[in-house]
Amino acid sequence: MKRRSFLKMSGLSAGTVITGGTVTGFLASCSGCKKEHHRGLMTEPVMVSEGDFSKLLSFASLAGVNHTLTAQSTTANLKGTNIPVLGYQPNSLLGPSFRINKGDAVNILLQNNLSEHTNIHWHGLKIPALMDGHPDQLANAGGTFRYQFTVNQRAGLSWYHPHPHQMTGKQVFQGLAGLFIINDAEEAALNLPSGQFELPLVIQDKRISSNDITYNPSMEEVMAGYMGESILVNGVYSPYIGVSTRYYRLRILNGSNARVYNLALSNNADLIIIGNDGGLLKNPSSVKEILIAPGERLDVLVNFAGNAIGTEIFLLSKEFPNGGEAQGKQQFQIMKFKVTASVTDSFTVAATLSNVSTVPASSAVKTRTFEISNAMEHHGVPMNDGMQMRHRINGKLFDSSRIDETVAANTNEIWVFDNSNGDEPHPMHLHGVFFQVMQRTGGRGRLIASEGAWKDTVLVMPGETVSVIVPFENNTGKFVFHCHNLEHEDDGMMLQYLLS
């Protein structure tokens, strides 16, 4: 259904705002809306406004195995003004970055000083179900929740953020998130750039006013995802950092609610992909540009050698096709690297990074297909619950009292995400496991450089079907899987699986 047709039938104006972060109430009143396939709302893209890249990039404080995270209302300086935000520490948009060694036992207390419930999902960690941050596992306002688990997985860049249903988008957009970095011996043996030459980069877009980080999605913005005009890196708008003429390691998280980035360098230098959501790839892969969707991570080497002192190089997001009406329509600068020192660098990129075995398709005991195109009818059957426009998986909305899929422990399965009839990007995320991407048909029709080895989030563009193979081990319990466009997730595009 096109935007103008829907608005005409519903009697709304283009400027109507749906309050509370969901469209549930509005759509419940739309039971008389004509039942036809949803083919987008013709949402206008939110264009990025670039700054002057004069503010020095900063990095989050570091935390270890024992820590208290306090979810709180606080302030942060954005665009030169102190404005109200949410944070896990005072005067900060983002929480501390955890640096943890494989095998460490972690003890983290969440103190909820918000006026609403919240929790923490440890995105990318294979931990017990009761510690994962399921939408049912909440700390009420004024309450606490203690997370205790052992980190028993390979090195990689993970992150943490709230996961209360229908409130995730708002809490993340207004500031609650942070990095969780795992180290191990295999990674250390590569002698990758470290210390000041390792740059963790949390890329987010925000809608910033003089009074707050605004979060009031309209109906259209729930359907497309909520995006902002201001790009922040590590909570800093329009930042720069000085670099030397050597290799740097960029640890990149797309921490945005909905915006997909097509990363590239302004001097057309290579981005050498060495890792992704689940850690190191088997071999490095050089690209000129690469898509990264909300929830995905990239581990990238960049060589600034050969550039004269004073050279300015920008990390860009380039235009890209087939992103729906709201995505990929603009090239913009994200941050600036300024060459400030000339040095000699002896680092070389290893030809082999990690021992990654391919999980054979023949080992799968079951194939499950999930239709994520968000049709107004599902397999020809009209949806009569009065909420036809909402985002669904296999025609279903999230219900914490319902188990949607039951999976046997210690088995491999193929999961197929079918967006072949869709017109919106959907980054699909599975809790509690990593998977290998097997095949993409339609749309781009191929895997990209960051989709080797292990993933927990995969981007399924309009017209695409993506198959992944998932080794379900013995981490039994109830988990969710969902679209990591947080407005889609809050709108109901999330199901549950029980591993038993």
Tell me if 376 sits within 8 A of 383, measured CB to CB: yes
Please report the pLDDT score of residue 321 as a whole number. Answer: 97
C-alpha 179/C-alpha 489 separation (Å) is: 21
Please report the pLDDT score of residue 35 as a whole number. Answer: 32
Which domain-ending residue is among 188, 214, 236?
188
User: Number of structural domains, the chain?
Assistant: 2
Residue 47 lies in a domain: no
- Token look-up 């679209």 returns 483
Nearest to 216 by CA among 491, 22, 391: 22
**135-149 pLDDT tens trace:** 999 999 999 999 999
Please report the pLDDT score of residue 43 as a whole number. Answer: 76
* Residue 122: domain span: 56-188
Please report the pLDDT score of residue 210 as a whole number. Answer: 86
Give the domain CATH number at 492. 2.60.40.420
Those residues with Cβ within 8 angstroms of residue 363's Cβ, 6 or more apart along the chain or in another chain? 412, 469
Please report the pLDDT score of residue 11 as a whole number. Answer: 37
Please report the pLDDT score of residue 389 as a whole number. Answer: 65
Residue 90 lies in a domain: yes
Which domain-ending residue is among 165, 188, 211?
188
Q: Which residues pair with 292 in a beta bridge?
A: 261
C-alpha 425/C-alpha 338 separation (Å) is: 34
Residue 314 lies in a domain: no
Residue 365 lies in a domain: yes
- Token look-up 């095949």 returns 439
C-alpha 32/C-alpha 113 separation (Å) is: 42
Those residues with Cβ within 8 angstroms of residue 293's Cβ, 6 or more apart along the chain or in another chain? 254, 260, 425, 427, 457, 459, 484
Residue 419 lies in a domain: yes
**302-361 pLDDT tens trace:** 999 999 999 999 999 999 999 999 999 999 999 999 999 999 999 999 999 999 999 999
Please report the pLDDT score of residue 326 as a whole number. Answer: 95
- Strand 144-150 relative to strand 81-87: parallel, antiparallel, unpaired? unpaired
Cα 81 off chain centre by: 27
Element (H, E) at 27: helix 24-28
C-alpha 467/C-alpha 351 separation (Å) is: 28
- Strand 494-499 relative to strand 405-407: parallel, antiparallel, unpaired? parallel
Residue 140 lies in a domain: yes
Tell me if 197 sits within 8 A of 249, measured CB to CB: yes
Which domain-ending residue is among 139, 154, 188?
188
Residue 370 lies in a domain: yes
Please report the pLDDT score of residue 152 as a whole number. Answer: 97
Residue 211 lies in a domain: no
Please report the pLDDT score of residue 328 as a whole number. Answer: 98
Under-50 pLDDT residues of the chain: 1-40, 375-387
Those residues with Cβ within 8 angstroms of residue 67's Cβ, 6 or more apart along the chain or in another chain? 96, 98, 107, 108, 109
According to DSSP, residue 195 is labeled G
pTM of this prediction exceeds 0.95: no
Tell me if 43 sits within 8 A of 226, measured CB to CB: no
Please report the pLDDT score of residue 42 as a whole number. Answer: 54
- Token look-up 């895997």 returns 447
